[in-house]
Structure formats: C-alpha cells, structure tokens
Amino acid sequence: MPNQKTKILAIDPGTREMGIAHFEDDDLVDYGVKAVKRSQTTRELFIRLDQILLRLIQEKRPRVLVLEKNNFSQIKQNVLLTLAVHKIKAVAKRHRVPVVEYNPRTVRKAVCNNGNATKRELARMVAASYPELRAYLESNRRWRERYYQNIFDAVACALAYLRLNPNHAHKQNGLK
C-alpha cells in the first residue's frame, strides 16, 4: 500500500478573520482568509465557526489540525478569541481530527530560526518558500497587510508542524 499523504489543515484563529492553509505533505494546496461575519452574540459566532470548520474538514479531510496557540487568554478583550479556539478544538475532536497547537515563538523559531522574528520577517520567510504568496506581502493599505498576515501565520503553523513533527513521512524519507 503506498504511503498516504499527510493532509494538514492549519488555522490562524480569529474572531473576525481566520487564516487557513491546506497542505498535502510539503505541498501548499490551498490557502486563504475566512471571514467570520460579525456576530451579535457569542452563540452566533460559535455557529459560524462550526459551519466554517465543518466545511473545511469535509472538503480537505485533514489528518491533523494545526493551530497557533493564543498566548493572551487572560486579557479581557481576548476572552472571545479563547472561546473561539476552544470551539475550533471541539469541532475537530467531534470529527476525530487530532489538534496540535504551537506557541507563536515556536512557530517563528521553526520557520525563521529566530523565536523573536517579527510578523513581517515571518511573512518574508514563508513567501520565500512559497513564491505564490509574494503577491500578499506588500500593499499600499495597512489593513490589507494585516488581513493577509492571517495567511502567512497559518502557513507558518503548518511549516512548524512539518519541521517539528518527527513522525512526518518526509522527514523519515530524508527530504527537506
């Protein structure tokens, strides 16, 4: 039986936008930003997150879901983000998709060899590995750069998984 590809769904969680990246082994198959419509209530937000995650899991059929860990869960403004991350994990668990979380510093260390790298440096390193993302690096509008940073963060999470997971097939075969 041939080796199955490792399908990875990486998410940069958010309550307004979520960066997503879908990998099959080292190949970036799909990426984007999913807009989470502004919800009047937390319940509406959870319903929307459930819908987005369900669709992504059904379409991509990931073997693992990789998330960037929320380090600011104690700050009042980020309580909603913390709840959203818990909802994402619950949906993944319900569909038997294992979840791996990485601290942002760990992601930056794995991708940039520098845990203190800036978001811009991280984006440049990701774009160097995946040239199709270069179009999203620079913009004359600050909001666009922040918006597309969600993609770079999601791709970086997947790259961290690929580089740090000792059970990943490409490492066993001696590639990259």
Domain that holds residue 107: 7-172
Whether 32 is in a domain gets the answer yes
Whether 12 is in a domain gets the answer yes
In Å, the largest CA–CA distance within the chain is 51
Whether 2 is in a domain gets the answer no
Instruction: Tally the domains of the chain.
Output: 1
Whether 106 is in a domain gets the answer yes
pLDDT in tens, 10-67: 999 988 899 999 999 889 999 999 988 776 788 888 899 999 999 999 999 999 999 9
Dihedral over Cα of 27, 125, 64, 85: its sign: negative
pTM exceeds 0.85, yes or no: yes
Whether 119 is in a domain gets the answer yes
CATH number at residue 116: 3.30.420.10
- pLDDT over threshold 60, residue 127: yes
